[in-house]
Every structure is written in C-alpha cells, then in structure tokens.
Amino acid sequence: MEIAALVVSLLAFGVSGLVSWRQLRLSHHANALPVVVDLFREHRSVRLARARTFVHEELPACDLSLGLAGLPEEGRDLVRELGWYYDNLGALVAHGVVDVEPVSGYLGGSVISVWEQMEPLVRAERARRMQKSLPDPDRWQAYFETLYHLVRETPPEQARTQASLWRPSS
C-alpha cells in the first residue's frame, strides 16, 4: 500500500512538473508575441525595405574601408537604421527574449544577406572607432553579428521545416 501511494505521489509530482514547464513556455511565448509581431511589421516598413535595397544595390559601390564616413548621407542613415534594427533583434534573440527559430524562418535570408554585404563596413567602422579611442569599439553591431551566426546555425529552411505546423505548398 505504501509503495502504491509513493508511486501515485511521484506520478502526480511528475505531471505537475510537466504542466508547470508547459505553462512557463506558454507564458514566455505570450510575452514575446507582441515584440515579434512589431519587429516583423517594422521589417516590412518602406524605410527598412529602402535600406535593404540600398545595402544590396548601392553599398557595394561605396568606399567601405572608411566605415560609415564612406557613405552618402542618406545611405549612412539607411545603413545605421537597418544595422540598429538587426542589432536590437540580435540582442533580443541572444538574451532569450525571442527564440531564434521564428526570426530565422521569417527574416533569416535577410539577416544573412545584409550582414554579408555590411560586414566589411562594420569591420572598418569598428577600426575607425578604435582609432578615435571610443569606448568599446568592438561592440558596434556585435548583436547583429551574433544574430547572423545564430541564423547560420539554424538556417531559415531548417527553422521553417522544424516548425510543428509548417505546411509548405507542393
């Protein structure tokens, strides 16, 4: 009789633990959802679409060895805005506020292509900041760089196909 009571108690404890864990996950998703929706909406904005177009079509013609100083004023503003967007998103992912899977599944291709276009500029800008003795020059766009690596580890196609409700068209 005592063994049966112990088994029932352990089972109840296990079920309670699983339910608590599930509630915690649901709570995390509920808290992150408005943030993710706003970030995805912002990514679709006309301004950031223009910034991505600039990065892909006009940035290669600029002198990236000068960092931001090598860009025309409007291009500099667009690159800053886009870089900050991905840097902020990277901070949220790196600190576990937002999971990398939905970010990679939805924005991963853009994260990869924009970082690869901007990387020489970022490296030059960090060097420029170091020469000017600005505090923590390597931190500039560090979360964006981290996001790039995290998306590379969980590529967009993998992130989408591993989603339990993913149903691609045939």
Amino acid at 112: I
Predicted pLDDT at 55:
98
Predicted pLDDT at 94:
97
Confirm whether pTM is higher than 0.75.
Answer: yes
CA distance 64 to 119: 9
* Tens digits of residue pLDDT in 27-82: 656 667 788 888 899 999 999 999 999 999 999 999 999 999 999 999 999 999 99
The ranges assigned to domains in the chain are 32-162
How is residue 53 written in tokens? 């177009």
Q: Give the number of other CB atoms < 10 A from CB of residue 56.
A: 13
pLDDT above 70 (res 25): no
